[in-house]
Amino acid sequence: MIEDELLKWKFKSGSIDALQRIYEKYRDYLLTVSMAIVNDTSLAEDIVHDVFVTFTQSGKSFKLRGNLKGYLTTCVVNRCRDRLRSYKRRPLSLDENVQLQSDMESPDRRLISDEQSRYIAGAMSLLPYDQREVIALHINGEMKLSEIARLQNVSVSTVKGRYRYGLKKLRSVLNGRLH
Amino acid sequence: MKSLDKKIQNAIKNMSFSAGPELDKDLWAETSRTHNEFHTIELTSDKQNMWRIIMKSKMIRYSAAAVIFLIILGGITFRPFDSLNKEQWWLGTPAVWGQEIIMELDNIETLVYREQYVFVSPYGSTHVSGTWRRHYQAKDRAVIEMYYEHTDEDTFGDVKPDSILQNVTYNFPDGNDLISYNLSYEHECYSIRELEEGAYKKDPVEDLRFYVNLLVKADRIMEMEIFDGKKCIGFEISAAKYGDNPPDWIDRIWLDIQTKLPVRIEKHGRPITDRTWATSTEIQDQFIYYADIPVDLFEPKIPVNFIYAESSDIQKAKEEMEKGQMVYAEVPPELVDATAQAMNSVGNVIFWQHIGIFQDNELKYIQSREQLVSRYDWQENVYFNEELQKSQWFITSQSDFGKTSFDFNDKNFSIAQIIVNHNRHTYKTTTYNSSSHPDNPLDRIIFLIDWFSKADIFIENEEIDGRECYGFELSAKKYGTNPDTTKHRLWFDKQTNLPVRIEDEWLEDDGPRMIVKDQFEWDVELPQETFIPDIPTDYTPEEE
């Protein structure tokens, strides 16, 4: 946390060092969150790219009282929502994800992951968007359900319901397929 | 059911996607490119406010204090971003690493450093002062040793074993007063002064702290240099940023990239008393931190043969004995200002320089040189009996033709001299670097004009080449160790206040000699090809 505070000060004053540190520290995490929500490598790359570019542009006007990780996670989630809405793209099904896996195993693969991660992402893609977002933010982003409720502009009980239903669906999809 | 939920949650938590090298490269390239578009390397003054802003938050203040505390406990150098560009901490926020330096400086109770001056002409020549000082500073007292050595640009930076101790000043408190002992080893005398309420209790590193605090306002980061055997990163700051100073006063501070402590401080563009155009650069270097200075070093030790007298009085008396009484004419100060102003605004000039000897009391020119001069380049055509013997070009190259008129640190500075010998049909090229190079012909002229106010004779009215002029005569004994037999005479056009004729007369064993500069054409347009060496195609390189 202290490091993040220092990074925020340095970033705001234009330090590329700080930006690089933020980028390196959160790049993979944001890619993971992004993949958990959109399950599309090139879209996830685009989203993280957009988030870093916008974050970088915020420069001097950047004001953040909360924590950096939560802020970046929220940026990714918002971007995922915008992208999915504007491009009207449908998350891939588990079957389609087989193709995705083979792409990612090519020698020049851009996004690296293990088999289970790809499988989980594929499973999550079968959930309705709101449920996916809650699960990604709560489990990957370690955000409290009340925080997610504020972000999604719904009640906490709605978030709890989305989380519960999301997990229930994952149980049926992943039953017997997790090591 | 719960165990499956736990498994799912763990699987999601452990889900990991990471950027491959290609994606990482693309992502960072785009991010850093965006950063570069939105931020220049310029360090804005906004940064100075950063520390204050962040420190308003109690939590952050405590957090930062905790970090600093841990660092002190750990005894390590504070590098918050150790995994990243750790060699380039200076690209981070100066308020953060500046604070580290300040903290380090706070531990220092004594400081030793050297101080030396370089005189810089606007036309590029430099002269390293022969005197340099070693400062030993403690909280309430200081000793300053002044040495003399023959220096030129080649020797600058070296401590020469033949340096002669000329002077030692001891400053120490006596209650609230400051006692200052000045011992002149050159004149074997000493004097004591007392400055009422002048006692100081200042941190020896106060000036360094001042400069470190200024770094948030730095205008640019210099290229890395090696000073005192240490790899240093330099910061340039306009002195206008910390006071009512002109913008051409420029400071540079060089920090050791390992220890972050100052290694060298340069103050460029400072005026010199009685020198209108030249500026001085003050350099502080050879810093010794945590110096173990023996206490008795601060106690004045007066050799038994020293007499009580002011060294300046003795020097004046000695000079009078050696050079005779100095004569000073009454020179109208408005004319001194007028010549300075006129020279300040001139551009190119063409003039002739003749070397003459006296035969039967008549001056006869034996050689004439046509000079075509711009600020950085010049051409010279040498005639003998009105026949062109030689042409030479002097072409200056340097990294930066702006800001400081001449940067003696500039490794890219050079002057190429191309000599074309029309007798032998040969040519030769010589390149000089900043350590030793020919001076622009205007340097000599402005040096003499600077002595106008100290003239021996003021010439109120004289007609030269059909123009009404005023002028002055100066004995060269007024500067350096020159004899009284060398004289300079300068005449200025009353209309333009620019030189019309300059004479340098001196005595050789076989009689007087004279160099005359005349036929001045000031602010003349010179075609670009003037400074492009013109070597006839059939000429061959001169053999060594």
Nearest C-alpha of chain A: how many angstroms from B287? Answer: 29
Region B96-120 average pLDDT:
87
Question: What residues of chain A lie within 8 A of the CB of B56, using their CB?
Answer: none
Q: Which residues contact B284 (CB under 8 A, 6 or more apart)?
A: B113, B114, B115, B264, B265
CB A70 within 8 A of CB A141: yes
- A6 part of contact set with chain B, CB < 8 Å: yes
How far A45 CA sits from the closest chain B CA (Å)? 8
Kindly identify which residue of chain A lies nearest to residue B25, measuring between CA atoms: A110
Report the gap between the CA of B50 and the closest CA in chain A (Å): 7
**pLDDT for position B479:** 81
> Which residues of chain A have a CB within 8 Å of the CB of B215?
none
Contact between residue B259 and residue B79 where contact means Cβ atoms under 8 Å apart: no
CA distance B74 to chain A (A): 17
CB A27 within 8 A of CB B111: no
Confidence of residue B109 (pLDDT cuts 50, 70, 90): confident
Could B13 and A139 be called an inter-chain contact, meaning their C-beta atoms sit closer than 8 Å?
Answer: yes
CB proximity A1 to B under 8 Å: yes
**Tokens in use for A52?**
């870093």
Asked if B11 lies within 8 A of A120 by C-beta distance, the reply is: yes
Between these two residues, B493 and B225, which has the higher pLDDT value? Answer: B493
- Higher per-residue confidence, B199 vs B76: B199
Q: What percent of chain B has pLDDT over 70?
A: 84
pLDDT tens column, B432-472? 876 677 888 998 898 899 899 999 999 999 999 899 999 99
Question: Quick check: B17 and A171 CB within 8 A?
Answer: no
Question: For A172, which residue in chain B has the nearest alpha carbon?
Answer: B4
Query: What does the pLDDT average to over B100-129?
Result: 83
Enumerate residues 29 to 88 of chain B having a beta carbon within 8 A of any beta carbon in chain A: 30-32, 34-36, 38-39, 43-44, 46-47, 50, 54, 60, 63-64, 66-67, 80-81, 83-85, 88
For Cα atoms B517, B523, B527, give the angle at the middle one, nearest 5 degrees.
100
The helix (run of H) or strand (run of E) holding residue B99 is helix B94-106
- Closest of A40, A53, A65 to residue A125, by C-alpha: A40
Residue B494 in this model has a pLDDT that exceeds 90? yes
Residue B62 has a pLDDT of 43
pLDDT band at B520 (very low <50, low <70, confident <90, very high): very high
Is A17's CB within 8 Å of B92's CB?
A: yes
pLDDT at B40 over 50: no
E strand or H helix at B167, and its extent?
strand B164-174
> At B142, which helix (H) or strand (E)?
strand B142-148
The shortest C-alpha distance from B15 to chain A (Å) reads 5
User: 112-141 in B: which are within 8 Å (CB) of A?
Assistant: none
User: Choosing among A7, A8, A11, A20, which should be mutated to test the B contact, i.e. which has the most B CBs within 10 A?
Assistant: A20
Looking at CA atoms only, how far is residue A110 from chain B in angstroms? Answer: 4
> Are the Cβ atoms of A27 and B54 closer than 8 angstroms?
no
Separation CA B449–CA B4 (nearest Å): 95
The confidence band for B153, taking pLDDT boundaries of 50, 70 and 90, is very low
Instruction: In whole angstroms, give the CA distance from residue B64 to residue B263.
Output: 27
Name the helix (H) or strand (E) containing A34: helix A16-38
Contact (CB<8Å) A5/B54: yes
What number of C-beta contacts closer than 8 Å exist between A and B? 172
Q: Check whether B84 has a pLDDT greater than 50.
A: no
Sheet-wide strand order for B387-397: B457-464, B467-475, B487-493, B499-508, B511-522, B349-359, B362-373, B378-384, B387-397, B414-421, B426-433, B540-541
Instruction: Return the structure tokens found at A37.
Output: 């929500």
Across chain B, what does the average pLDDT equal? 81
- Which residues have a Cβ under 8 Å from the Cβ of A108 and sit 6 or more positions away? B20, B22
- Residue A56 is nearest to which of B1, B34, B44, comparing CB atoms? B34
Predicted pLDDT of residue B401: 57
The answer to whether the CB of B9 falls within 8 A of the CB of A31 is no
Instruction: Quickly list H helices, A59-67.
Output: none
Residue whose structure tokens are 């000036």 = B207
Residue with the larger pLDDT of the pair B162 and B3: B3
Residue of chain A with shortest Cα separation from B27: A49
Query: Angle formed by the axes of helices A68-87 and A2-12, to 10°?
Result: 70
Report residue B197's pLDDT band, with 50, 70 and 90 as the boundaries.
confident
Cβ–Cβ < 8 Å for B349, B336 = no
Alpha helices in B365-502 (DSSP H): 441-449
Residues 156-175 of B with CB under 8 A from A: none
> A179, A106, A68, A30: which is closest to B16 by C-alpha?
A30
Scan for tokens 């002739």, then name that residue: B352
- CA B49 to chain A, closest CA, distance in angstroms equals 10
Do residues B146 and B130 touch, judged by C-beta distance below 8 A? no
Q: Closest partner residue to A2 among B43, B63, B92, by Cβ?
A: B63
Q: By the CB < 8 Å criterion, does A66 face chain B? A: no
Model pLDDT, residue A18: 80
Helix-helix angle A16-38:A115-124, to 10 degrees: 60
pLDDT at A92: 41
Instruction: Give strand pairing partners of B489.
Output: B473, B503
For residue A81, which of A49, A119, A34 has the smallest C-alpha distance? A34
B39: nearest Cα among A18, A131, A86, A83: A18
Chain B closest-CA separation from residue A10 CA (Å): 5
SS3 A160: helix
Q: Are B331 and B452 in contact (CB under 8 A)?
A: yes
Return d(Cα B264, Cα B109) in angstroms, integer.
19
B293-340 per-position pLDDT tens digit: 888 888 898 999 999 998 888 888 887 887 788 889 999 999 999 998
Closest by CA to B407, choosing from B135, B216, B231, B225, is B225
Radius of gyration (C-alpha) of chain A in whole angstroms: 17
Record the tokens describing residue A128, joined without a space.
Answer: 């309705």
- Residue B144's closest CA among B181, B187, B105? B181
How far is it, in rounded angstroms, from Cα B12 to Cα A134?
12
Residue A135: its chain B contacts at CB < 8 A? 12
Do A52 and B80 lie within an 8 Å CB cutoff?
no
* Nearest-Cα residue of chain A relative to residue B53: A9
User: Does B161 score more than 70 pLDDT?
Assistant: no
Q: Cα(B438)–Cα(B436) distance, rounded to whole angstroms?
A: 7
The stretch B166-187 carries a mean pLDDT of 91
The verdict on a CB contact (< 8 Å) between A52 and B60 is no
Tell me the two tokens of residue B383. Answer: 């005639």
Q: What is the pLDDT of residues B362-408, one digit of tens each?
A: 888 889 999 999 988 999 999 988 899 999 999 888 766 555 545 56
DSSP state letter for B309: S
Distance CA B310, CA B186 (A): 12
Q: Which parts of B141-294 fold into alpha helices (H)?
A: 206-214
pLDDT of chain A, 179 residues: tens digit per residue: 556 776 777 777 777 878 888 888 899 999 999 998 888 888 888 899 989 988 888 776 666 666 788 888 888 988 888 877 665 444 444 443 433 343 344 434 677 778 888 888 888 888 888 899 999 999 988 888 888 888 888 888 889 989 988 888 888 888 766 66
SS3 for B110? Answer: coil
Task: State the smallest CA–CA distance between residue B527 and chain A in angstroms.
Answer: 46
Q: Are B379 and B372 in contact (CB under 8 A)?
A: yes
Q: What are phi and psi of B450, to 5 degrees?
A: -60, -20
CB spacing of B35 vs A27 below 8 angstroms: no
Residue B75 has pLDDT above 80, yes or no: no
Cβ <8 Å between B54 and A174 = no
b/e map of B313-335 (b: 16 or more CB within 10 Å)? ebeeeeeeeeeeeeeeeebeeeb
